[in-house]
Amino acid sequence: MTVTVTEHQIRNVMQDHAAKDARWAIAYALMRLADAQESVATQLKYLGNGDAATQMGAMEALGLQLGEKLQAVADALEMMGSEVSGALDSVAVSIAEVAPSKHIAGS
């Protein structure tokens, strides 16, 4: 005669015994720790590629997106710097045209 016992039934028996006996309590605690470790391992797997068809995991995809966005910000700042530089050049030329070359205000 074959008896089939489910994992759920084993957990229930262990939990019941753990409430009455310290040795069972330790065994039950170790089982719960193993469950928690398995859960953490599963979540870490999804930070990797999570069995997806892509070679890129979540952290890698985030890094790629972050890099692309930072490059766009850097490009915009570079363009703004060029525009500011051009505007300052225009201001300097205008000041030079208005002020006599021998007379500098404040000297």
Q: Are 58 and 47 in contact (CB under 8 A)?
A: yes
Q: Are residues 38 and 1 in the same domain?
A: yes
pLDDT > 70 in the chain, percent: 87
Cα–Cα distance between 35 and 37 in angstroms, integer?
5
Q: Are residues 35 and 75 in the same domain?
A: no
Q: Are residues 33 and 12 in the same domain?
A: yes
When pLDDT is averaged across residues 39-66 and rounded to a whole number, the result is 79
**pLDDT at residue 106 greater than cutoff 70:** no
Which domain, by its residues, includes 84? 56-107
**pLDDT at residue 46 greater than cutoff 80:** no
At residue 58 the predicted structure's pLDDT band, cuts being 50, 70 and 90, is: confident
pLDDT for residue 50: 65
In the chain, the number of structural domains is 2
| Structure tokens, 66 | 């972050």
- Range in 5-14, 34-43, 46-55 the model is least confident about: 46-55
For residue 93, the one-letter residue type is V
Nearest to 47 by CA among 60, 38, 58, 36: 58
